[in-house]
Each structure stands twice: as structure tokens, then as C-alpha cells.
Amino acid sequence: MSLTITPLSPALGAQISGVDLSRDISAAQRDAIEQALLQHQVLFFRDQPITPQQQARFAARFGDLHIHPIYPNVPETPQVLILDTAVTDVRDNAVWHTDVTFLPTPALGAVLSAKQLPAYGGDTLWASGIAAFEALSAPLREMLDGLTATHDFTKSFPLERFGTTPEDLARWEATRRNNPPLSHPVVRTHPVSGRKALFVNEGFTTRINELSELESEALLKLLFAHATRPEFSIRWRWQKNDVAFWDNRVTQHFAVDDYRPNRRVMHRATILGDAPF
């Protein structure tokens, strides 16, 4: 069965139909989804009641899977982490961020499945780093290309929120030792398409290394605001059993935290990527 791809905005986003993610997709379907991902950067699939095992199987068609060092996971499928507001403080998702950029090889992408939703609220926004970079003036693009920035795990996972019990503290300290601050390019080149994208995010980027502290602070403030302008972004209103699949190499996202005290449960499988260049 052929896929139907419906673009949702000029900058990014498309809805995909004609595929059942609970089944093992064919090679042709996999290739078509990958091409759609390269073009549209975030894909949405309605009415996909998949199990964690099926979710991991689908995500693994695109690369090896990551096990998150902090968030809880599905015991029988540890590659699928659980974002459950009744269990975990997920405020760090309510900031514009690109997943796990504190790793030397940040995620290629992620597959997110909606399991339990509030009656209203709880939308997620994505923004295109490609659209943001291409909209900058030529002199600014030239200046940014070649700069590097520091990414730090503790910016989104501060000790005071993620080290409150002896078990959590031990996990946090181990993660900190295994993930010291590191540098990535401010402008990343997509390893497949060759397109350039801004690769700084408010969740993990702390400073631009080649600039003074004052210059870095001012420029990051500009880039954070520019990268998330409405014309570079899309907002998805979740329905139960929706699945989103995004290219983490050239996007960032924001999970709107507007539904408390209602509960929201999402499952995420994260696909490992390569070193940014």
C-alpha cells in the first residue's frame, strides 16, 4: 500500500497515512518514510495504537536506539522511555530543545507515541533549524559557520530537581561523569541532505566558545528567539495513539506544559545519530 504524504506547513511537518506501524514495515515503506523525514523534518501518524515493542521495532528500522540515563523506561523494552507527569518532573521538556545534544553523537531522531492525554492542552511544537538558518542574513550566516558551542546535560537536568533521593542522586552523578560538557558546531550540516541548520538550543546550549561571555550571551539570546519564530515552527494537537517521528539533527521542539493537574503519558524511542559537523 502506498503512503499518502500531506504537508502541513511551508517550513516543516507532514501527516503520513497508508501505513500500519504495529506491523513490520516493508523496505519500500521505510525508504519512503525516510525520504519524507528528510523533506519535512517531522512526520505525524494518526490512530497508531502501538505497543512499546512495536514502537521500538519501528524506530530501530532507522538506527540503533538510545537508553536514556535519567528518565524511566518500559521494563521489558528499555529503549522506550516513559514521560509520565504523574511519575516524573518533565518541566525540562517545556523549553525549546533538541534531544540529548549533551552526547558526542546526539540523536538522529525520535519516535513519540501518545498514550494518555489531558482533555485539552499538552500540544507539542517543532521548529526547523534549516528554515531558521536560511532566513538569517548572509553576513550572520557566514559568521556563525565555523563557531562552536558548549552543550551541558545539567542545564535541563539540574541537581536540585533530579538528585533529590539517594537513588536519583547516584544516577545523576553517574550521568554527569559520563556526559561532561562538550562542543558542537553552531551550524550543523545534515549528513544526508547536506543542508545547513542552526544547532543551538535553550535546553542544553550554554555558551558560544569563541566569543566573550557577554557576546555569547547576547548572540545566543538572539539565536534562541530567531530559531523558534512562528514561521519556522508547527504546533501539533495530540490525539490518543498519535505517533510523531522527527529529525532531531535539524529541529528542536517544545512540549507545552499547560494541562496540570491533568495527566499526560508519552512513550519515546530515541534513535542514535552521528557526530555533528
Catalytic (active-site) positions: 97, 99, 253, 268
Q: Provide the residue type at 73 as one letter.
A: N
Q: How far apart are CA 270 and CA 97, in angstroms?
A: 14
